[in-house]
Amino acid sequence: MNSVPRILVFDIFGTVVDWHGSIVREVSARWPQADADAFALAWRAGYQPAMEAVRSGGRGFVKLDVLHREILDGLLPRFGLGQLGDAERAELNRVWHRLAAWPDSVAGLTRLKARCTICSLSNGNLGLLTDMAKHAGLPWDCVLSAEVFRAYKPDPRVYRGAAEVFDAERGEVLMVAAHHDDLAAARACGLQTAYVERPMEFGAAHPKDVSPQPGNTWHARNLLHLAEQLGC
C-alpha cells in the first residue's frame, strides 16, 4: 500500500496556492474600506453550494469561472462594492487565475516531478489552472480539471478519470490535498492519499485544525516534506 506512486494528482485551492491571502491582498489594495478577510471567506463559502447544484444534477456542468462570478455578484453589495461595473467584476473574478503559491509549492513540485508525473486535479477550470501555473510557476506535467470529466470533486468520476487518463491502477495514483473530505473520496476510489498541513488556509486569524487522520497513506507538513517522504 505504501509503494511510491507513479502519478501524483493535486488539489489546488488551499493545497498548492493561498487563495485567502491572495484575495485579501488584492481586495485590500484596491478597496481599503472593505473587510477583505470577510470578503475572501464569503467568496470561498459560496463555492461548495454552487458546485452542489451541478453535482446534484440540478444544473448542467458549468466552469468554475462562471460559478465564481455568480457568487461574486451576490456578495459585492454586502461589502459596499455593488457599484462595480462588468469589466471590473470580470477582472476581479480572474484573481483566482493569479493566486500565489505557498512558499514551498514550486520547490516541492519540482522535486516530486523528477520522479513522478505531477498533475493538477482541481475543481478549477482548465483556463484558470493554466493561467495560474504560468503566473505562479507551477511545473505541471499535465493540467487536469473537473472540466475534463464534466463533474466536480468529490464525484468519483474525477478520481477514477484521472487514473484512466494515465492507464494507471488506482493504487498507483496519489491524491494530495489539504482537505480530508477530498482525500476520503479519493480513498474510496482506491487512490493513495497524502494530507498536507495548511494551517493558514483561511488566514492567520482563523487557524485550521491540521491533525493527522488515520486513513491517509501520507501526512506532510508541506510539499517539500512530502517529497522527502517519497524519496524524491
Which residues make up the interface to its own copies (CB under 8 A)?
Answer: 65, 117, 119, 125-127, 129-131, 133-134, 141-144, 147-148, 165-167
Paired strand residues for 15? none
Contacts of 15 (CB under 8 A, 6+ apart): 176, 177, 178, 179, 196, 198
Rounded least distance, CB 13 to its own copies, Å: 18
CB of 207 to its own copies, least distance (A): 35
Q: Which is nearer to its own copies, 79 or 166 (CB)?
A: 166
Helix ranges restricted to H, the chain: 19-30, 36-45, 47-55, 64-75, 86-93, 105-115, 126-136, 146-149, 156-165, 180-188, 223-229
Rounded to the nearest 5°, which phi and psi values hold at 225? -65, -35
Report the SS3 class of residue 220. strand
Q: 76 near 40, Cβ under 8 Å? A: no
Per-residue CA distances from 141 to 8, 166, 168 (Å): 10, 12, 16
Looking at this protein, which amino acid is placed at residue 109?
Answer: L
Q: Which is nearer to its own copies, 119 or 227 (CB)?
A: 119
* Nearer residue to its own copies within complex by CB, 114 or 204: 114
Q: How far is the CB of 141 from its own copies (least distance, A)?
A: 5
Least distance in angstroms from the C-beta of 77 to its own copies: 25
If the CB atoms of residues 67 and 178 are measured against its own copies, the closer one turns out to be: 67
CA 116 – CA 111 distance, rounded (Å): 9
Q: With respect to its own copies, which residue has the nearer C-beta, 40 or 144?
A: 144
* Cβ 85 to its own copies shortest distance, Å: 18
Minimum Å gap between C-beta 76 and its own copies is 21
Whether residue 36 contacts residue 223, with contact meaning beta carbons closer than 8 Å, is answered with no
Closest distance to its own copies from the beta carbon of 16 (Å): 16
Q: Which is nearer to its own copies, 25 or 89 (CB)?
A: 89
Chain mean position to CA 103: 16
